[in-house]
Chain A
């Protein structure tokens, strides 16, 4: 079986995989990083989104062997080593942007990439369109949009602290 070596959440990792092993299987089953989820089998739901070399990727659409030498970041690798959450994680909690939590890792990873790709800032409508590849069945997206709108202000340095949700 081929061996794949890569960096996951800043640490070197390697595993022997089958040729057909998907990146998401490498993460979940070989490296036991179960924060990345599988919600469908047609690349529709986005629960498996991770960052590969800085860009969001559906980890069910990429073979593990394609990741040789890649830098992969998963939901487990977002917070600072001291536990300080990424502003997007913090915003999801503050704005009640998750319920069952299953779509959340992929949603957060997609949202971070969406915001990073749009330094000019996004309107609510643009956020909704930017989430086209991620499904959530619990929230109706309302609070996810609010969370991303708030997080982008911190990520773009417009404000220092995450704006609190109104009571």
Chain B
């Protein structure tokens, strides 16, 4: 379809409103009569609430109401639900303690919501919040994985012994043990995957509204999936049926996973709006975001790889502890299990794998999916372990990868950890990336850097991920409490313009452009005739939202299915108008044509006939031209690729500069290369952030030390390099577009390449591995401690 269709770098149509200040984010919404809510949060990691005195606050100017946990309990409201149940090794269900919307009896992390003050203005609510006196009995806290698993550790939840949420495993332990028994060599690695705080630039916000005349509730919220919020909040928390609850997620300023989940504040403002009969708005201050948005990662892992004499991988054994935080966030249990251990084959033919994962409650903010979700943890451990294996074997890092790659001829490829990869060509992405990064010329650059007093290193990662989430029956058998299909409704309007309603949600991904290109391509019409609508449960039939790089693979496929239905009906209408058989009608370039003739009807003529059915096969066909499709994917999609990072370290300061970064990814068919490139660059930036800058720190009392943008190191423009992105694609074999997804590959592939480069730069200092982030402080200590030895040698 030429310039606007699939494959064209069309400029984004959403940009005009964003560059002119006309976006419509949740905090931009103001409803008539609106009140403002301020949440009072626990300053303690673990404490008993002995009493709350809100009398002074209730009497303060402008205050309309103050609510505490008992007020919600009195309305028989439910707790915040968890959407995924993981089972223990013995088949018993995980521990699933209650998660009250406002704390009742106890608080379990700094930031746990305790009360809400609702007032005429934000200032009045803030002032009154200062007057609420909460009497806490402070209890010992267990804020980290280590602290929560010590003998005698404080219990986060009474009745959850040892703070263990679940003790789960996957794979064939006996086969792995047997392979290790005959191994020529073993590579072993202990590592920490550092805890991250997502920090989408738009803080979360929510506006609740109640219409006493109809009994209808509306929630405007910063969500990646409004239908999921409607389901979770309506059915489980507030007991409002779907037809009386509308959830709108307007423009959303970034999510990265953190806006998937159903949060307490959404339920608080919706419920409170019903209580006070006026709209109630809450917007997080960034400090609140740090202590209430779900965090990411936070694993401690021991991994071992058994190898034969040629460096072929025989078996992989992994033991991981994963931090759940104080409560189970919506999808938390599946992240370190089904989105992690199932990826441990990576791009390699390792025949036997056994993974054990212990999930642990701690007195910290809940941990859930953050860009990549489980897969960055898998790729970091595997790619770092492969580098260690290369050292053990005395093999080149590229050579050991080549020896173990799943060959391009082996697809579909069944891994020993449940997944079946449909397509890929790992040598192709590797070779393209080696070339783009001039891997062969590196030693000359290292020598040149040495003359300037700099330590230069290069790192590589060849990774895979699973996205396009997900086949409903498969995830259902693994404990998901939802289906993971997607929905598209296509309405061809009477004069031929097209409105598409999608259950996915765009919060930076550019869906209004990419999907319009896709529809323009399907129908052979200009993009200007196509409108994409998302983010409102009152407009869109249903949907599961956007996460897990699923929008094009699942949502786009739903659009193709709906388009096929439209075209099938259009053929029957055209056949009537052209007095031909429907079997003889072809749809091409926006026209229904009698095959082999020049007799044709344009889409707009057919749609007009459908809505003005004067000359119409009314006995056989209903009027109208609108179709809905639910698409349930047959498999995950498997993007993969190669990332190469080159760094220079200043030995006097320990500062790492990324001097070159190349990514060559296989994301399947590319609809808009400009948008795909931007998605990958953004993902890589977050990966470099994890590797070099970002980490969440709690002190021993559970106080969040990295609780502001002055303490948590967000990557800034001068921390990052230009990021070179290329693609080398194979098509997905099981969806109609051949697409795989591109939202997370950058964050999944990059951290091991960055750390590999830092380790390589420090190889003369006896460094085999470094945990993230590789801060100047950490590196300077290593360099300085080894200086005398280096000088002596």
B723 lies within 8 A of chain A by Cβ: yes
Q: Which of A34-42, A63-71, A115-123 contacts B (4 or more CB under 8 A)?
A: A34-42
Query: What total of A-B pairs shows CB separation below 8 Å?
Result: 182
Which residue of chain B has the shortest Cβ distance to A167 in the bound complex?
Answer: B9
Which one of A33, A41, A93 lies within 8 Å of B286 (CB-CB)? A41
Question: B683 — which chain A residues lie within 8 A by C-beta?
Answer: 140
Which one of B203, B285, B508, B723 lies within 8 Å of A138 (CB-CB)? B508
B21 lies within 8 A of chain A by Cβ: yes
CB pair B718 A129 closer than 8 Å: yes
Q: Which of B175-183, B293-301, B706-714 contacts A (4 or more CB under 8 A)?
A: B706-714
Residues of chain B from 253 to 283 with CB closer than 8 A to chain A in the complex = 253-254, 256, 283
With known contacts A34-B21, A92-B19, A141-B720, A42–B202 Cβ distance under 8 A: no
How close is B175's CB to chain A, nearest CB, in angstroms?
42
CB pair B508 A93 closer than 8 Å: no
Which one of B123, B675, B710, B715 lies within 8 Å of A96 (CB-CB)? B675
A99 lies within 8 A of chain B by Cβ: yes
CB pair B681 A100 closer than 8 Å: no
CB pair B714 A34 closer than 8 Å: no
Question: Which of the listed residues B251, B673, B685 has the most CB atoms from chain A within 10 Å of its own CB?
Answer: B685
A131 lies within 8 A of chain B by Cβ: yes
B398 lies within 8 A of chain A by Cβ: no
Residues of chain A from 14 to 59 with CB closer than 8 A to chain B in the complex = 18, 20, 28, 32-42, 44-45, 47
CB pair A100 B253 closer than 8 Å: yes
Tell me the complex Cα distance, A93–B283, Å: 28
Which residue of chain A has the shortest Cβ distance to B16 in the bound complex?
Answer: A93
B550 lies within 8 A of chain A by Cβ: no
How close is A42's CB to chain B, nearest CB, in angstroms?
5
A98 lies within 8 A of chain B by Cβ: yes
B200 lies within 8 A of chain A by Cβ: yes
Tell me the complex Cα distance, A138–B714, Å: 12
Which residue of chain A has the shortest Cβ distance to B283 in the bound complex?
Answer: A38
Q: Which of B22-30, B85-93, B103-111 contacts A (4 or more CB under 8 A)?
A: B22-30
Which residue of chain B has the shortest Cβ distance to A108 in the bound complex?
Answer: B19
How close is B224's CB to chain A, nearest CB, in angstroms?
11
Question: A129 — which chain B residues lie within 8 A by C-beta?
Answer: 717-718
Tell me the complex Cα distance, A74–B199, Å: 24
B682 lies within 8 A of chain A by Cβ: yes
A155 lies within 8 A of chain B by Cβ: no
With known contacts A93-B19, A135-B709, A139-B678, A102–B286 Cβ distance under 8 A: no
Tell me the complex Cα distance, A28–B21, Å: 11
How close is B2's CB to chain A, nearest CB, in angstroms?
13
Question: B709 — which chain A residues lie within 8 A by C-beta?
Answer: 40, 42, 44-45, 135
Residues of chain A from 119 to 167 with CB closer than 8 A to chain B in the complex = 124-125, 127-129, 131-132, 134-145, 165, 167
- Of the four ranges (under 10, 10 to 19, 20 to 34, 35 or more), the interface on chain A belongs to 35 or more
Tell me the complex Cα distance, A155–B218, Å: 45
Tell me the complex Cα distance, A76–B678, Å: 25
Tell me the complex Cα distance, A33–B22, Å: 9
A75 lies within 8 A of chain B by Cβ: yes
The interface bits of chain B over 24-42 (1 if a CB of A lies within 8 angstroms of the residue's CB, else 0) are 0101101000000000000
CB pair B201 A137 closer than 8 Å: yes
How close is B133's CB to chain A, nearest CB, in angstroms?
23
B15 lies within 8 A of chain A by Cβ: yes
How close is A57's CB to chain B, nearest CB, in angstroms?
16
Which residue of chain B has the shortest Cβ distance to A36 in the bound complex?
Answer: B21
CB pair A99 B20 closer than 8 Å: no
Question: A145 — which chain B residues lie within 8 A by C-beta?
Answer: 717, 722
B716 lies within 8 A of chain A by Cβ: yes
CB pair B681 A142 closer than 8 Å: yes
CB pair B23 A101 closer than 8 Å: yes
CB pair B510 A35 closer than 8 Å: no
Which residue of chain B has the shortest Cβ distance to A79 in the bound complex?
Answer: B20
Question: A142 — which chain B residues lie within 8 A by C-beta?
Answer: 681, 685, 720, 722-723
B252 lies within 8 A of chain A by Cβ: yes
Tell me the complex Cα distance, A101–B24, Å: 10
Question: B510 — which chain A residues lie within 8 A by C-beta?
Answer: 99
B492 lies within 8 A of chain A by Cβ: no
With known contacts A34-B28, A75-B20, A93-B11, A100–B718 Cβ distance under 8 A: no
A103 lies within 8 A of chain B by Cβ: yes
Question: B722 — which chain A residues lie within 8 A by C-beta?
Answer: 124, 142, 145
Which residue of chain A has the shortest Cβ distance to B675 in the bound complex?
Answer: A96
B46 lies within 8 A of chain A by Cβ: no
With known contacts A139-B678, A142-B722, A103–B201 Cβ distance under 8 A: yes
How close is B265's CB to chain A, nearest CB, in angstroms?
17
B414 lies within 8 A of chain A by Cβ: no
Question: B203 — which chain A residues lie within 8 A by C-beta?
Answer: 38-40
CB pair B14 A96 closer than 8 Å: no
Tell me the complex Cα distance, A34–B22, Å: 8
A113 lies within 8 A of chain B by Cβ: no
Question: A136 — which chain B residues lie within 8 A by C-beta?
Answer: 201, 717
B319 lies within 8 A of chain A by Cβ: no
Which residue of chain A has the shortest Cβ distance to B371 in the bound complex?
Answer: A137
Which residue of chain B has the shortest Cβ distance to A18 in the bound complex?
Answer: B123
Which residue of chain A has the shortest Cβ distance to B23 in the bound complex?
Answer: A101
Which one of A75, A124, A144 lies within 8 Å of B21 (CB-CB)? A75
Question: A20 — which chain B residues lie within 8 A by C-beta?
Answer: 123
Question: B44 — which chain A residues lie within 8 A by C-beta?
Answer: none
Which residue of chain A has the shortest Cβ distance to B256 in the bound complex?
Answer: A137
CB pair A143 B678 closer than 8 Å: yes
How close is A99's CB to chain B, nearest CB, in angstroms?
4
B572 lies within 8 A of chain A by Cβ: no
How close is A101's CB to chain B, nearest CB, in angstroms?
3
CB pair B674 A96 closer than 8 Å: yes
B99 lies within 8 A of chain A by Cβ: no
Residues of chain B from 678 to 696 with CB closer than 8 A to chain A in the complex = 678-679, 681-686
Which one of A37, A78, A135, A140 lies within 8 Å of B25 (CB-CB)? A37
Which one of B9, B251, B283, B720 lies within 8 Å of A101 (CB-CB)? B251
CB pair B25 A141 closer than 8 Å: no
Q: Which B positions have Cβ atoms within 8 angstroms of A?
A: 9, 11-12, 14-23, 25, 27-28, 30, 123, 199-203, 251-254, 256, 283, 285-287, 507-510, 673-675, 677-679, 681-686, 708-710, 714-718, 720, 722-723, 746
- Residue contacts A-B, CB under 8 angstroms, 24 given: A35-B21, A35-B22, A40-B203, A40-B286, A40-B708, A41-B285, A44-B709, A44-B710, A45-B201, A45-B709, A94-B11, A98-B19, A100-B200, A100-B201, A104-B19, A136-B201, A136-B717, A138-B678, A139-B682, A140-B715, A142-B685, A142-B722, A142-B723, A167-B673
**Other A-B pairs beyond A102-B254, A142-B723, 5, CB < 8 Å:** A37-B253, A44-B710, A136-B717, A142-B681, A144-B717
- A-B pairs, 5 with minimum CB distance: A35-B21, A102-B253, A101-B18, A140-B685, A100-B508
Q: Which A positions have Cβ atoms within 8 angstroms of B?
A: 18, 20, 28, 32-42, 44-45, 47, 74-76, 78-79, 85, 89, 92-94, 96, 98-105, 108, 124-125, 127-129, 131-132, 134-145, 165, 167
